[in-house]
Amino acid sequence: MAVPEAKIFRLHWRTREDKTSAQKPYKGEFMLLLQRAKVTHIVEFLEDEVYESTGKVWNVYRIVKAVWMPPNACDWYHLPHQREFFGYDEVVADGLAHSLSEADKMWKFHEYWDKRGGLSVFQKHVADLLTKISKSGSI
């Protein structure tokens, strides 16, 4: 990060073939980032531009701002498992961007959350979990 306190950074995709995925989120949209089956960041896309850099991997990126990260003192190994956020284990883990509004591609999400109130209830659930993590370092 050029300005760490701004929490603005490059969010990379693995290869140029992933450029289509990198184009999916639009400026102002948010993404939950999963690493090792844990939500580690929520980022906001700051523009629609997809950039390319040299190199064979991690060469496509977008400019994002972290709107949530675990507190500095938090042990990331103790962050809640993705099932605590999503309610089920089988979250897509292919390194690509997936929209929760796409019922045909995110069918497991819709199968679980639609009967509980849908996307807005999920968003409230996530906000509640993030508040607990920010206060205690875990849930």
* Predicted confidence (pLDDT) per residue in 59-110, tens digit: 999 999 999 988 877 788 888 899 999 999 878 878 889 999 888 888 999 9
| Per-residue pLDDT tens over the stretch 2-51 | 566 788 999 999 988 999 999 999 999 999 999 888 999 999 999 999 99
The pLDDT value given to residue 65: 96
- The partner residues of 62 in beta bridges, in order of sequence, read 11
All domains of the chain, ordered by start, with CATH? 4-136 (3.10.590)
The secondary structure of the chain in percent helix, strand, coil, rounded to multiples of 5, reads 35, 25, 45
The pLDDT value given to residue 95: 85
CB atoms inside a 10 Å sphere around CB 71: 10
The pLDDT value given to residue 44: 97
CB atoms inside a 10 Å sphere around CB 94: 9
